[in-house]
A = this chain, B = another copy of it.
Amino acid sequence: MDRTRRGPTEERGVTVERIVAAARDSFAEQGWAGTSLRGVARAAGVDARLVSYYFADKTALLQACLQPPAGFAERVAAAASAPLARRGIALLEAMLANWNDPASAVVLRSVILTAAHEPLALRALQAVFRHALIGAVAGSLDDDTGGGSGDLDGGERTLRAGLVASQIVGLFMTRYVWRIPPLSELPDAQIVRLVGPTVQRYLEGPLDR
């Protein structure tokens, strides 16, 4: 399956995507140390030289694996522009939509698992967290938070975003990675009714007392 480098763009894209998909599995499940360009080539069914052609080294390959999935940031940003009173719900719906998109779910799963033991993946995840959650969601809180807290400081914004992340990541682990019933089986709309109030409180409710 040794594809030419002068082939049509679409074909190259398919090859790169196969390599990256194989690399994602390997980084998530065998870590940095257990992943080799040669092993990834084998799993992807391509010649090892082709992997080296597209990716200078293992770091470049990992970086390609850590790119947020298509649509991820857009969905989160759209949710962040919802009125505050239902922004937690909108954010949860956006994350459920991201996980229901198989191409997106596989990236998120890989980043979450790889970040547990690879500093590069952890930094990538923290960047996604910072931009998607703190930037888009908590960053807009200071405009319209009720209760006289119109001047949320950066610390509070980061704390609220972190709390939102703690619930969403845990839901992802239990519902999608571990598939613990009934969380793994309920329809999205019911998950939103069950967990939405938590996200909503973390976004705008009274927190520490």
Contacts and interface: CB of A to CB of B under 8 A. Distances in A.
Interface of A: 28-31, 33-34, 109, 112-113, 115-117, 122, 125-126, 129, 155, 158-159, 162-163, 165-175, 177-178, 180-183, 190, 193-195, 197-198, 201, 207-209
Contacts of A113: 113, 116-117
In the assembly, how many copies of this chain are there? 2
Contacts of A33: 29-30, 34
A58 B201 CA distance: 45
Which of A112, A117, A162, A193 has the most CB atoms of chain B within a 10 A radius of its CB?
A162
A113 B166 CA distance: 16
8 contacts: A28-B116, A31-B31, A112-B173, A126-B180, A162-B174, A163-B194, A190-B208, A193-B208
- Chain A contact residues: helix, strand, loop or mixed: helix
A183 B167 contact: no
B182 A155 contact: yes
Contacts of A171: 166, 170
